[in-house]
């Protein structure tokens, strides 16, 4: 399987004299869902901000499908879909206009846009909210808007920050079913989460961050073997 995301020896943070993440290396291949897990403050969101190009590595390099943010920011940005932990939206645009904006910025034809947008609205039960403004939405509805915007453009790589918090059980199931579908179609998914039971069920590999460093990574079996505890769950590791 081809490698979609390569994070190599990345050290970085928010100021020149303090590194939040240190020597972080991992990759995401096609057709896999990888969980990024760790305690509050471990550095998951900071790692994601480096991948998105919002923070620049002080050391190391990040590439998506062989491109770096530095050399080709536009292609780099278009290669991933990002589902943020806190919804980001425009007050003056309706839900439908947000979807149109996402489609336009990725050059989707109107026909393709509509073929994809209507089933998403239906599956996430957001049809009635189509012409409303996200300001009037609940947190979960805003989260669903972010999810639909990312799923609409079908990127090769999804970066998903804490996707489950704020969603109702049906929303969680719909999202995870979609991500599994994207994986079957060849996408790679990096998902930061605190919900270990969900990670164990849906993710192929796990990256455990502790105080900004990778403590362990691998499949559940590999993690169990490396800790010498065959019956362990992610909770114990």
Based on CB atoms, which residue is closest to ligand ATP, 20 or 120? 20
Burial of 147 (0-12, 13-18, 19+ CB in 10 A): buried
Looking at 9, 41, 66, 186, which residue binds ligand ATP (CB under 6 A)?
41
d(CA 230, CA 75): 43
DSSP 8-state symbol, 18: B
**For residues 44 and 183, which CB has a smaller minimum distance to ligand ATP in the complex?**
44
Q: Which is nearer to ligand ATP, 63 or 193 (CB)?
A: 193
Interface with ligand ATP includes 42 (CB under 6 A)? yes
For 52, the enclosing helix (H) or strand (E) is helix 44-52
Instruction: Give the one residue of 45, 75, 94, 198 binding ligand ATP; rule: CB under 6 A.
Output: 45
**52 contacts ligand ATP (rule: CB under 6 A):** no
Residue 188 or 212 with smaller CB distance to ligand ATP: 212
- The region of 44-52, 102-110, 123-131, 151-159 touching ligand ATP under the rule CB under 6 A is 44-52
Looking at the DSSP bridge assignments, the partners of residue 64 are 5, 67
Q: Are 134 and 95 in contact (CB under 8 A)?
A: yes
Among the residue ranges 35-43, 58-66, 197-205, 225-233, the one whose residues contact ligand ATP (CB under 6 A):
35-43
- 169-184 vs 139-152: helix crossing angle, rounded to 10: 10
Q: Are 124 and 172 in contact (CB under 8 A)?
A: no
User: Which is closer to ligand ATP, CB of 20 or CB of 189?
Assistant: 20
Return the ∠ at Cα 4 (arms to 218 and 79), rounded to 5°: 140
**Least distance between ligand ATP and beta carbon 212 (Å):** 7
Chain residues that interact with ligand ATP, rule: CB under 6 A: 14, 20, 38, 40-46
């Amino acid at each position: 399987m081809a490698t979609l995301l390569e994070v190599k020896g990345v050290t970085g943070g928010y100021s020149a004299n303090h590194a939040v993440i240190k020597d972080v290396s991992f990759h995401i291949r096609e057709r896999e869902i990888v969980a990024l897990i760790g305690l509050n403050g471990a550095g998951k969101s900071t790692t994601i901000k480096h991948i998105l190009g919002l923070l620049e590595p002080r050391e190391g390099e990040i590439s998506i499908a062989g491109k770096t943010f530095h050399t080709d920011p536009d292609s780099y940005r278009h290669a991933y879909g990002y589902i943020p932990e806190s919804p980001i939206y425009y007050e003056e645009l309706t839900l439908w206009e947000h979807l149109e904006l996402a489609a336009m910025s990725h050059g989707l034809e109107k026909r393709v846009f509509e073929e994809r947008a209507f089933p998403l609205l239906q599956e996430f039960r957001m049809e009635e909210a189509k012409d409303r403004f996200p300001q009037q939405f609940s947190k979960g509805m805003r989260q669903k808007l972010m999810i639909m915007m990312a799923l609409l453009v079908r990127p090769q790589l999804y970066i998903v920050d804490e996707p489950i918090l704020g969603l109702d059980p049906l929303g969680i199931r719909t999202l995870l079913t979609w991500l599994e579908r994207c994986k079957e179609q060849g996408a790679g998914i990096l998902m930061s989460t605190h919900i270990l039971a969900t990670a164990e069920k849906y993710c192929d590999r796990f990256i455990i961050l502790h105080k900004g460093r990778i403590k362990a990574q691998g499949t559940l079996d590999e993690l169990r073997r490396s800790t010498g505890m065959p019956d362990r769950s992610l909770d114990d590791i």
